[in-house]
């Protein structure tokens, strides 16, 4: 009887901590709505705005989960997105084809991600350091591409060309489609299970015959698809690209994923929906800060405190007697 | 391993870099160390890079990724510079204050880590955001400027940089190689669970590590601020940039550590990358090219490091 | 159970924070109502900023928050630092959602997109301290929601650099080091200032810089060099050293130090951020000129002889565009005779001595008696285009002091 009680309590505890990030999102949304009513803001417009602001990070972060699940991380996602968007935009300007733009965005992003992971696999390099080197190379590449384009400090796609797809429905469609595919791959195909295994215990995974390098490459390819879609959506939302395009995406992705309850070390506790929950929570938090009209320094300090509180609660059940690394 | 091999292994990388950079310079009709200013540039770079490398290595070698080192340098130098300017303090006092504030900020960061028991990367992200915000709020966004304070600016001299480098190196070697704390640190590094089980206080050790890293970053913040006489504010992780300059020296240090002492290795790694920095200055290499070259060197060296046996076998076959 | 408590504590803490700040009263204005200006309803104005930490940006913010917001029944909502066009679009969406009636922009990644978005949502849009290009102005001049732009046009930027270099060339100086700021990033403002410096050197030296010697050809040459300039001998004068970019790494500091410490260099010129770059490396026998903001540190630097020439925008220069925006929001738009939007240029205050800098700074930083006071700005409410343009055109320190009288 006692054992049954303990088991039931543990099950309930597990469920609570599984949904803790979602509860955090609900709290954030509730706070947002309370403030929105107090400040009398345009709520429907705000909702659309929240989608616009979070969709790119959600898409890129969802792809990045395939990397984080392996216990790696990629700091060059933002730079990858910038290069992919630039090449996509340049492709559009030469072909006047949105499909070509999409193809080049996806192709470039996947190629860059693949190169990163192949380099790491073939030469036994730590992935995160390879991505640090890739970050420098891509930043230099951005300047060279902008210079080569010859139109000053920007690369531009005509606004009229993308206005038809710069709609809430199109973005929702892309988001839902990519999310559905990612959920399917992550939860129902062996790639997801194998990635969780490698993230949880790479040595054990290797000994059971899993090819860690192959999984890393596939994971980076999935992430690359997310980055390519993110690049395409960036062009549709803001068709003027510069060297600072997507500069904050790399850090936004890490924060979103963590905010959404994803363990940074990957493994079996990885959740594909962390990106959605985290990105939306982050966007809502930014909206709350804006409505409060705090100065930049205080706003950032408040965000930091809320961030650590939310993550602390969502990871409460994973405390051991040794410090995490 | 013979003494000769140890010596060779220790100095081969910096010597090679010195030779190659000089050859490249000479081929362009330029002398690397033409005047005292070049030596000053070099010494400053070594001081900056070695301090960041020491600080980052303390936690990174224990599996703790720390994004907040830059923000600790920023905030500690903001506090120390503000006090120095308002109370007309000497550079030595400003340095001492920077060290103190750096240590306290690092300590706070460590205490947060051991209290919340979250992955260090997550804690460091929050700490970086918080410290950046605090620096911005403290200075109302204006940063700190002391360009008119010649006494503080004149700290930037070769002897002073050499003293800082030497003290930092000796401090690191003594603390991490010759104290109980250092032995426990190494035990935790190689076997966390076992070390905790035998009674090593992991939390105390981690907090001290963060405090020491903060102390070193306080020194780096001081060196950086006395270079231009001003401290610019950073928001939204703008302060994480300095962290990346430490990776190549760290890996070089790890390699050299096999032959002698890894702290000496970090310093020699800093010397190597600073020679490359000076090469960029002397040849006026543009920023994009610098980034590409630095990235290629990092990847190239890692490839060598992780494939040494394969490379050796390749040469043996031939 | 423990975790539920934690969740509750978190919720309560957040609600407390929200309650504290959320219940803050909006400014209900302290200024008296003047003919036409409706002070009874609060007007929310969004402000787009590309730079949240620069001295100039902070001075502008101080003028709006510490003076204008206290004089008028307006609330300024500031964006975070906007790095690119997507961030600008997001920020505008945020302001629209927060019922801002107008947006004043200091961000220029994609001005046409900003204007279109504002116009679609019936929100007024104005450019502070900048201008649209000729093509952009042609496209938007008739748009009722585009209020206009007041700021240094590119020719004014060119002149800022030209006059700064000429000031020292006229004193017989021949060896220069130049910090090109954001020129390598193709930022027009800095490119034109750099071009101005180079043209002045060409005129004085009787030579050319890679074949260019006037404004048009110099701009072309700079772009042709991919904005990566190099030292050159220009007739009898010399560009001894040139550094560009804001790398803030050891190599960059080394280049600055080398440039400044070249024994032949007599004058250090910076197209921006001179105090944060050359100032620390400057030798006592050298001269430093920069285009930068008037700050307490800049004044101290002038007094100490660290800085010798300062061309800066005065923080109240964004007063007229605010008034034009308020005028538009309250139904009295200021348009040209053809019904077109404002496109007015304003230049810099140039200080070549410590006393001048002190006087300028005293006015510039005042939160009770700035360069443009409420009384002065009220005369612009619903004014004719000619009166407005005349007011804006009299931007020198002396002219403004006369206007005050």
Q: Are residues C200 and C244 in the same domain?
A: yes
pLDDT confidence tier of residue A8, bands split at 50, 70 and 90 = confident
| Span A171-211, pLDDT tens digits | 999 999 999 999 999 999 999 999 999 988 888 988 999 88
Give the dihedral of Cα atoms C4, C10, C14, C20; nearest 10 deg: 110
Total domains present in chain C: 2
Residues from chain B contacting residue A323 (CB–CB below 8 Å): 113-114, 117, 192, 202-203, 206
Both tokens of B10, joined, read 């220790």
C53 with B49: Cβ contact below 8 A: no
**DSSP helix/strand/coil, A124:** coil
| ipTM for this model | 0.90
What does the pLDDT average to over C50-54? 88
User: Does any domain span residue C362?
Assistant: no
pLDDT confidence tier of residue A72, bands split at 50, 70 and 90 = confident
Q: Are residues C338 and C295 in the same domain?
A: no
Min Cα–Cα distance to chain B from C239, Å: 15
| Chain B partners (3+ C-beta pairs within 8 A) | A, C
Q: What is the pLDDT of residue A318?
A: 58
Min Cα–Cα distance to chain B from A306, Å: 9
- Mean pLDDT, chain C, rounded, equals 90
pLDDT confidence tier of residue B270, bands split at 50, 70 and 90 = very high
What does the pLDDT average to over A149-157? 83
User: Does any domain span residue C149?
Assistant: yes
Judged against a pLDDT cut of 50, whether residue C273 lies above it is answered with yes
Q: Are residues C306 and C393 in the same domain?
A: no
Min Cα–Cα distance to chain A from B167, Å: 29
User: Does any domain span residue C18?
Assistant: no
| Span B203-223, pLDDT tens digits | 999 999 999 999 999 999 999
All domains of chain A in start order, with CATH: 58-318 (1.10.3470)
User: Does any domain span residue C200?
Assistant: yes
**Percent of chain B clearing pLDDT 90 (strictly above):** 85
Of B62, B119, B236, the CB nearest to A265: B119
Q: What is the pLDDT of residue C22?
A: 44
The β-bridge relationship of strands C175-179 and C237-243 is parallel
Judged against a pLDDT cut of 60, whether residue A62 lies above it is answered with yes
Judged against a pLDDT cut of 90, whether residue C318 lies above it is answered with yes
pLDDT confidence tier of residue C206, bands split at 50, 70 and 90 = very high
Judged against a pLDDT cut of 60, whether residue A161 lies above it is answered with yes
Q: Are residues C129 and C187 in the same domain?
A: no
CATH of the domain at C322: 3.40.50.2300
C279 with B281: Cβ contact below 8 A: no
Q: What is the pLDDT of residue A6?
A: 85
Please check whether residue A151 touches C, CB under 8 A: no
| C33 vs C342, residue with greater confidence | C342
Q: What is the pLDDT of residue B276?
A: 96
User: Does any domain span residue C297?
Assistant: yes
Judged against a pLDDT cut of 60, whether residue C18 lies above it is answered with no
B112 with A308: Cβ contact below 8 A: yes
B241 with C248: Cβ contact below 8 A: yes
User: Does any domain span residue C143?
Assistant: yes
Of B37, B45, B306, B51, nearest to B165 by C-alpha is B51
pLDDT confidence tier of residue A263, bands split at 50, 70 and 90 = confident
Judged against a pLDDT cut of 80, whether residue C28 lies above it is answered with no
Residues from chain B contacting residue C276 (CB–CB below 8 Å): 228, 230, 232
A300 with B196: Cβ contact below 8 A: no
Q: Are residues C130 and C141 in the same domain?
A: yes
pLDDT confidence tier of residue C114, bands split at 50, 70 and 90 = very high
pLDDT confidence tier of residue C11, bands split at 50, 70 and 90 = low
d(CA C322, CA C52): 19
Q: Are residues C162 and C295 in the same domain?
A: yes
Judged against a pLDDT cut of 70, whether residue C26 lies above it is answered with no
Q: Are residues C118 and C175 in the same domain?
A: no
Residue C310 · residue C357 · CB < 8 Å? yes
Q: Are residues C147 and C174 in the same domain?
A: no
Judged against a pLDDT cut of 60, whether residue C30 lies above it is answered with no
What does the pLDDT average to over C309-325? 96
Q: What is the pLDDT of residue C143?
A: 96
Of C11, C84, C112, the CB nearest to A244: C84
By C-alpha distance, the chain C residue nearest B282 is C255
d(CA C301, CA C299): 5
Mean pLDDT lowest among A200-214, A293-307, C11-25 = C11-25
Both tokens of B27, joined, read 């081929």
Q: What is the pLDDT of residue B224?
A: 95
| Span A75-125, pLDDT tens digits | 999 999 999 999 999 999 999 999 999 999 999 999 999 999 998 888 888
Of C55, C254, C301, the CB nearest to B142: C55
| Span C125-165, pLDDT tens digits | 999 988 898 999 999 999 999 999 999 999 999 999 999 99
What does the pLDDT average to over C265-288? 94
Please check whether residue C185 touches A, CB under 8 A: yes
C297 with B147: Cβ contact below 8 A: yes
What does the pLDDT average to over C257-268? 93
Residue A196 · residue A267 · CB < 8 Å? yes
Side-chain-side CA neighbours of residue B263 (13 Å): 19
**Percent of chain A clearing pLDDT 90 (strictly above):** 58
Q: Are residues C328 and C252 in the same domain?
A: no
B236 with C247: Cβ contact below 8 A: no
Q: What is the pLDDT of residue C31?
A: 46
Min Cα–Cα distance to chain C from B170, Å: 24
pLDDT confidence tier of residue A317, bands split at 50, 70 and 90 = low
Judged against a pLDDT cut of 70, whether residue B291 lies above it is answered with yes
Residue C344 CB contacts under 8 Å (≥ 6 apart), including other chains: C148, C149, C150, C320, C388, C389, C392, C393
**DSSP helix/strand/coil, B215:** helix
Q: Are residues C207 and C137 in the same domain?
A: no
Q: What is the pLDDT of residue C21?
A: 44
Would you mind telling me the total number of residues written for chain A in this entry? Answer: 325
Q: How far is CA C27 from CA A167, B267, C125, C374, in A?
A: 36, 57, 22, 16
Q: Are residues C271 and C159 in the same domain?
A: yes
Chain centroid to Cα A254, Å, comes to 7
Residues from chain A contacting residue C90 (CB–CB below 8 Å): 49, 52-53
| Residue span of the structural domain in which C79 resides | 43-153+315-347+371-404
A42 with C93: Cβ contact below 8 A: no
Mean pLDDT lowest among A3-17, A207-221, B130-144 = A3-17
C313, C336, C363 - which closes a domain: C313
B148 with C248: Cβ contact below 8 A: no
| Span B97-140, pLDDT tens digits | 999 999 999 999 999 999 999 999 999 999 999 999 999 999 99
Q: Are residues C100 and C174 in the same domain?
A: no
DSSP notation for B221-234: HHHHHHHHTEE---
Of C2, C17, B92, B209, nearest to A288 by C-alpha is C17
């Amino acid at each position: 009887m006692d054992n049954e009680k303990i088991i039931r309590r543990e099950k309930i505890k597990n469920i609570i901590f599984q949904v803790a990030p979602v509860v955090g999102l609900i709290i954030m949304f509730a706070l947002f709505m309370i403030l929105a009513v107090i400040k009398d803001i345009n709520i429907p417009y705000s909702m659309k705005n929240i989608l616009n602001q979070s969709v790119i990070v959600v898409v890129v972060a969802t792809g990045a989960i395939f990397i984080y699940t392996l216990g790696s991380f990629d700091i060059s996602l933002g730079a990858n997105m910038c290069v992919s968007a630039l090449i996509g935009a340049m492709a559009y300007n030469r072909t006047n084809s949105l499909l070509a733009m999409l193809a080049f965005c996806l192709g470039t992003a996947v190629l860059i991600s693949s190169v990163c992971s192949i380099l790491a696999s073939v030469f036994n390099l730590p992935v995160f350091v390879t991505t640090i080197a890739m970050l420098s190379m891509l930043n230099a590449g951005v300047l060279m591409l902008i210079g080569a384009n010859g139109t000053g400090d920007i690369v531009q796609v005509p606004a009229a060309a993308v206005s038809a797809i710069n709609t809430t429905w199109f973005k929702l469609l892309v988001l839902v489609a990519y999310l559905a595919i990612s959920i399917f791959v992550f939860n129902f195909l062996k790639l997801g299970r194998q990635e969780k295994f490698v993230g949880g215990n790479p040595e054990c995974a290797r000994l059971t015959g899993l090819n860690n390098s192959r999984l890393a490459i596939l994971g980076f390819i999935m992430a690359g698809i997310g980055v390519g879609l993110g690049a395409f959506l960036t062009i549709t939302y803001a068709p003027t690209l510069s060297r600072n395009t997507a500069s904050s995406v790399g850090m936004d992705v890490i924060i979103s994923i963590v905010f959404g309850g994803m363990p940074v070390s990957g493994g079996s506790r990885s959740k594909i929906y962390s990106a959605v929950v985290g990105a939306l929570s982050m966007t809502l938090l930014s909206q709350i800060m804006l409505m409060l009209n705090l100065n930049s320094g205080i706003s950032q300090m408040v965000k930091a405190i809320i961030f650590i509180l939310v993550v602390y609660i969502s990871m409460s059940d994973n405390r051991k007697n040794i410090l995490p690394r | 391993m013979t003494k000769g091999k140890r010596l060779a292994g220790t100095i081969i990388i910096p010597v090679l870099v010195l030779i190659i950079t000089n050859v490249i310079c000479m081929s362009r009709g330029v002398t690397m160390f033409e005047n005292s200013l070049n030596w000053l540039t070099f010494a400053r770079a070594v001081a900056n890079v070695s301090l960041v490398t020491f600080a980052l290595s303390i936690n990174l070698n224990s599996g703790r990724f720390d994004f907040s080192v830059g923000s600790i340098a920023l905030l500690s130098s903001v506090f120390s510079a503000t006090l120095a300017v308002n109370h007309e303090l000497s550079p030595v006092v400003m340095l001492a204050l920077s060290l103190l504030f750096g240590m306290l900020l690092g300590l706070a960061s460590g205490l947060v880590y051991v209290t919340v028991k979250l992955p260090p990367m997550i804690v460091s992200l929050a700490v970086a955001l918080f410290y950046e915000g605090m620096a911005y709020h403290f200075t109302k966004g204006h940063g700190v400027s002391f360009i008119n304070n010649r006494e503080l600016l004149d700290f930037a001299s070769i002897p002073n940089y050499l003293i800082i480098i030497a003290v930092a190196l000796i401090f690191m070697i003594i603390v991490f190689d010759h104290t109980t704390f250092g032995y426990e640190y190494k035990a935790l590094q190689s076997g966390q669970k076992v070390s905790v089980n035998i009674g090593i206080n992991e939390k105390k050790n981690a907090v001290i590590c963060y405090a020491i890293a903060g102390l070193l970053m306080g020194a780096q913040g001081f060196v950086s601020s006395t270079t231009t006489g001003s401290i610019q504010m950073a928001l939204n992780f703008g302060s994480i940039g300095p962290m990346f300059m430490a990776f190549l020296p760290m890996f070089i240090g790890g390699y050299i550590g096999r032959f002698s002492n890894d702290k000496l290795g970090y310093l020699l790694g800093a010397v190597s990358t600073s020679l490359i920095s000076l090469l960029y200055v002397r040849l006026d290499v543009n920023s994009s090219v610098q980034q590409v070259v630095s990235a290629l060197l990092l990847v190239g060296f890692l490839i060598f490091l992780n494939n040494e046996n394969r490379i050796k076998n390749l040469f043996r076959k031939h | 159970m423990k975790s539920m408590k934690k969740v509750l504590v978190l919720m309560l803490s957040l609600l407390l924070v929200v309650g504290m700040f959320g219940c803050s009263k909006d400014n209900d204005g302290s200024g008296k109502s003047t003919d036409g200006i409706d002070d009874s309803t609060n007007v929310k104005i969004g402000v787009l900023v590309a730079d949240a930490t620069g001295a100039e940006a902070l001075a502008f913010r101080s003028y709006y928050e510490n003076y204008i917001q206290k004089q008028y029944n307006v609330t300024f909502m500031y964006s975070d630092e906007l790095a690119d066009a997507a961030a600008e679009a997001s920020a505008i969406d945020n302001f629209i959602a927060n019922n801002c009636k107008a947006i004043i922009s200091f961000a220029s990644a994609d001005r046409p997109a900003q204007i279109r978005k504002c116009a679609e949502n019936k929100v007024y849009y104005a450019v502070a301290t900048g201008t649209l290009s000729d093509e952009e102005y042609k496209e938007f001049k008739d748009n009722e929601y585009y209020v206009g732009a007041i700021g240094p046009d590119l020719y004014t930027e060119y002149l800022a650099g030209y006059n700064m270099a000429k000031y020292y060339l006229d004193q017989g100086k021949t060896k220069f080091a130049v910090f090109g700021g954001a020129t390598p990033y193709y930022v027009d403002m800095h490119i034109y200032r750099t071009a101005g410096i180079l043209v002045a050197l060409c005129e004085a030296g009787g030579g050319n810089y890679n074949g260019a010697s006037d404004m048009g050809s110099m701009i072309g040459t700079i772009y042709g060099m991919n904005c990566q300039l190099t030292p050159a001998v220009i007739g009898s004068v010399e560009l001894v050293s040139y550094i560009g970019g804001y790398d803030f790494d050891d190599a960059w500091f080394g280049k600055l130090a080398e440039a400044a410490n070249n024994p032949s260099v007599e004058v250090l010129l910076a197209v921006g951020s001179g105090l944060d770059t050359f100032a620390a490396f400057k030798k006592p026998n050298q001269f430093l000129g920069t285009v930068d903001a008037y700050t307490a540190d800049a004044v101290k630097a002038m007094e100490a002889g660290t800085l010798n020439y300062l061309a800066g925008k005065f923080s109240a220069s964004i007063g007229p565009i605010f008034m034009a925006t308020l005028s538009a929001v309250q139904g009295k738009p200021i348009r040209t005779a053809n019904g077109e939007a404002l496109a007015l240029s304003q230049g810099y205050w140039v200080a070549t001595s410590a006393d001048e800098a002190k006087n300028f700074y005293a006015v510039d930083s005042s939160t009770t008696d700035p360069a443009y006071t409420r009384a002065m700005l009220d005369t612009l409410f619903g004014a004719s285009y000619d009166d407005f343009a005349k007011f804006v055109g009299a931007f020198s320190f002396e002219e403004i002091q006369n206007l005050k009288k």
